[in-house]
Amino acid sequence: MTKPSPLNGKLAIVTGGGRGIGRAVAMTLAARGAELILLGRTERSLKTTAVDIRNQSDATVHVRTLDVTDGDAVDQTFSGLIAELGPPAILVNNAGGAESAPFTALDRDNWDATLAVNLTSVYACTHAVLPAMIEAGYGRIINIASTAGLEGYPYVAAYCAAKHGVVGLTRSLALEVERKGITVNAVCPGYTDTEMLQAAIRKIAATTGRSEADARDELAAANTGGRLVRPEEVAEMVAALCGPAANSVTGQALEITGEDS
């Protein structure tokens, strides 16, 4: 018997879909029946993920290189995709990144770049897709925020500010579109086992003299479950927010911090 596919035929855009959490989200949505559009700057990783998706399911996958901090490129890419493929049902704003520095060393370029990739990109991609969703009367927008969108962490002021901004945008837009068939939610993972975390671990080890293993253990211990979150766990929550059980869930910022299991 074939498994039910709750997202059958739904067109889903995932920014930063080539690796890490975005890749896991893309694989999971495709396994639930969605047709995928993967966006990111690195064609190679996007294509590798597309091949892996096609190998696991018969999902259709499209790949476009895009720097989500380039507003004009976002508008052009999204309008081209919508003209070609129709209104996307799902937008997962996942692209992001963090660099740590004490606030006194956080220069204006670093601040601007961090807000551009983590916050303004969410505005730009959402702005580019929302009219088509409104016209279609259906949309699921999921923003990958962070626990740094709900509480402060030292040495990442710009990242925390950006992710708090993502949560605020989520809550505001959810109210604006709540009668239009569109839900807007954020997921807020704790430390999650990806390349971004690995880079953070290397930096902690280099700046403190601790071993990478110790740094990794310390970050894992900061999560509720005492372990790193797996990208697939974030992906499951995103898929759930896209599915019928979450039709009445909007404006939420859901923490994913790893239950001990």
If binding is defined by CB under 6 A, does position 139 make contact with ligand NDP? no
What is the identity of the amino acid at 67?
A: D
Q: Using alpha carbons, select from 105, 148, 144 the residue that is nearest to residue 126.
A: 144
Catalytic positions, please? 159
CA of 119: how far to CAs of 96, 123, 132, in Å?
8, 7, 21
First to last CA, the chain: 30
**Looking only at residues 84 through 123 of this chain, which bind ligand NDP when binding is defined by CB under 6 A?**
94-98, 117
How far is 220 from 31, CA to CA, in rounded Å? 29
Nearer to ligand NDP, 41 or 180 (CB): 41
Per-residue x/- track, 45-84, ligand NDP (CB under 6 A) = x--------------------xxxx---------------
Nearer to ligand NDP, 10 or 216 (CB): 216
# binding residues, ligand NDP (CB under 6 A): 30
Nearer to ligand NDP, 127 or 180 (CB): 127
Nearer to ligand NDP, 82 or 229 (CB): 229
| Binding region for ligand NDP (CB under 6 A) out of 17-25, 55-63, 78-86, 99-107 | 17-25
Which tokens go with 240? 């759930």
Per-residue x/- track, 230-259, ligand NDP (CB under 6 A) = ------------------------------
How far is 241 from 245, CA to CA, in rounded Å? 8
How far is 249 from 117, CA to CA, in rounded Å? 26
Among 144, 160, 238, 253, indicate the residue that binds ligand NDP (CB under 6 A).
144
| 227 within 8 A of 205, measured Cβ to Cβ | no
How far is 142 from 239, CA to CA, in rounded Å? 9
If binding is defined by CB under 6 A, does position 227 make contact with ligand NDP? no
Convert 124-146 into a string of H (helix), E (strand) and C (coil). HHHHHHHHHHHHHCCEEEEEECC
Which residues lie near ligand NDP (CB under 6 A)? 15-16, 18-22, 40-42, 45, 66-69, 94-98, 117, 144, 146, 189, 191-192, 194-197
